[in-house]
Amino acid sequence: MPEWLIERGIGETRAALVEAGEILEARVRRDAVVPAGTVLNARLVAVAPRVTVEAGGEQFLLPRGVQGVSEGGELRVEVTREALGGSEPWKRGLGRVTNEAERAAPALAEGRFGTIDAWDDLVAEAREGIVTFDGGELRIEQTAAMTTIDVDGWLVPAKLAQMAAWAAARAIRRLDLAGSIGIDFPTLKGRDERQAIDTILDDYLPAPFERTAMNGFGFVQIVRPKLRPSLVDLAADRAAFEACALLRRAGREVGATCLAAHPAVIAVLGGHRDWLDQLSRQVGGAVTLRSDAALAMSAGYAERV
């Protein structure tokens, strides 16, 4: 029976719905980022070009606007989407005005604390953006407009599309993909063949979502509520993503430890002394850093000192 496991990491908390050792669904909550569902007091800092408030040490956009409050005035907001990361304004967190009492966000998931054994495999999927299935593969890419999933394989088009529809629904759930998602299937000529793909998506995609019917060119658009960054979003901030992955691997060491990694990853770690202090307590020894430009971003490692 599927079970949610919660893993408290350094810099982030991970949750995975696991069945027979396989991750069916996953979520990540980053430290020092106000999560969706939080209600808190805010200050209106700008009404143009975007309505922007400051709360909890972050700036949030209010897409629905605000009435009756001048710049500098106080109001209460609910965070509807966490910040996605990056410098673009649209990646800031989103919120809405509310009269509800202040409250913390709901738990990331309801389950027991433990170690998520298959997490490294999921990290590799998010990093590479490639998901294989029997007969082909999905290539997942993040754009400013949407997450795109391209289908490629060697089966006949109708069978390839069916297998890809199942794999795409599974990947959407595993990688926590949300917002606008476009899937480019092989072109199917028959109406019945296209409707079969629609049925597979409806059967395997977790609610809530909306989708278009497959058009004559094999394209389907899916929209799911986006509360936080997907694992693919997080992987786009490559240095921070690999820093958290390295800290997770390093936590298995015992005693004084040196982290060797690409300079960009070392820069992230060096900017988070609190992360290194946590790791030091976890391994029971001092933690040092070593920059190595010859290492790939994902090839960092921990070694006993």
Residues 223-242 pLDDT 10s = 999 999 999 999 999 999 99
Domain membership flag for residue 191: yes
Residue 299 banded pLDDT, cuts 50, 70, 90: very high
Residue 91 banded pLDDT, cuts 50, 70, 90: confident
* pLDDT > 70: percent of the chain: 99
Say if residue 86's pLDDT is above 80.
no
Domain membership flag for residue 83: yes
Indicate if 138 and 170 belong to the same structural domain. yes
Mean pLDDT of the chain: 95
- The separation between CA 145 and the C-alpha centre of its own chain, rounded to angstroms, equals 16
Indicate if 210 and 123 belong to the same structural domain. yes
The predicted structure's pLDDT at residue 52: 95
Indicate if 135 and 211 belong to the same structural domain. yes
Indicate if 91 and 152 belong to the same structural domain. no
Indicate if 219 and 137 belong to the same structural domain. yes
Q: Could you report the per-residue pLDDT of 142-183, keeping only the tens digit for each?
A: 888 899 999 999 999 999 999 999 999 999 999 999 999 999
Say if residue 87's pLDDT is above 70.
no
Domain membership flag for residue 229: no
- Residues of the domain holding 55: 39-97
End-to-end CA distance of the chain: 42
Residue 85 banded pLDDT, cuts 50, 70, 90: confident
Indicate if 165 and 258 belong to the same structural domain. no
**Final residue in a domain of this structure, among 224, 252, 269:** 224
Kindly report the CATH number assigned to the domain that includes residue 252: 3.40.1260.20
- The separation between CA 165 and the C-alpha centre of its own chain, rounded to angstroms, equals 21
The predicted structure's pLDDT at residue 144: 82
Helical segments of the chain, H only = 119-128, 157-174, 191-204, 231-236, 238-250, 263-270, 273-283
199-220: average pLDDT: 94
Alpha carbons within 13 angstroms on the beta-carbon side of residue 259 total 34
Burial 268-289 (b: 16+ CB within 10 A, else e): bbeebeebbebbeebbebebee
Q: At what angle do helices 157-174 and 119-128 cross, to 10 degrees?
A: 120
Residue with tokens 């992360």: 275
**Final residue in a domain of this structure, among 113, 147, 165:** 113
Tokens describing residue 66 = 């605000």
Domain membership flag for residue 88: yes
Indicate if 131 and 178 belong to the same structural domain. yes
Domain membership flag for residue 84: yes
Domain membership flag for residue 139: yes
> How many structural domains is the chain composed of?
4
Indicate if 199 and 129 belong to the same structural domain. yes
Say if residue 244's pLDDT is above 90.
yes
The predicted structure's pLDDT at residue 107: 96
Indicate if 125 and 212 belong to the same structural domain. yes
Indicate if 217 and 134 belong to the same structural domain. yes
φ, ψ of residue 41 to 5 degrees: the values are: -75, 145
Domain membership flag for residue 231: no
Indicate if 89 and 154 belong to the same structural domain. no
Domain membership flag for residue 232: no
The predicted structure's pLDDT at residue 145: 85
Instruction: Say which DSSP state 218 is in.
Output: S
The predicted structure's pLDDT at residue 189: 85
* pLDDT > 90: percent of the chain: 92
Say if residue 46's pLDDT is above 80.
yes
The predicted structure's pLDDT at residue 245: 97
**Final residue in a domain of this structure, among 164, 199, 224:** 224
Residue with tokens 């020092």: 32
Say if residue 37's pLDDT is above 80.
yes
Say if residue 201's pLDDT is above 80.
yes
Assess contact for 272 and 11: CB atoms under 8 A. yes
Indicate if 259 and 299 belong to the same structural domain. yes
Q: Read out DSSP for 239-298?
A: HHHHHHHHHHHHTT--SSEEEEE-HHHHHHHHT-HHHHHHHHHHHTS-EEEEE-TTS-TT
Residue 58 banded pLDDT, cuts 50, 70, 90: very high
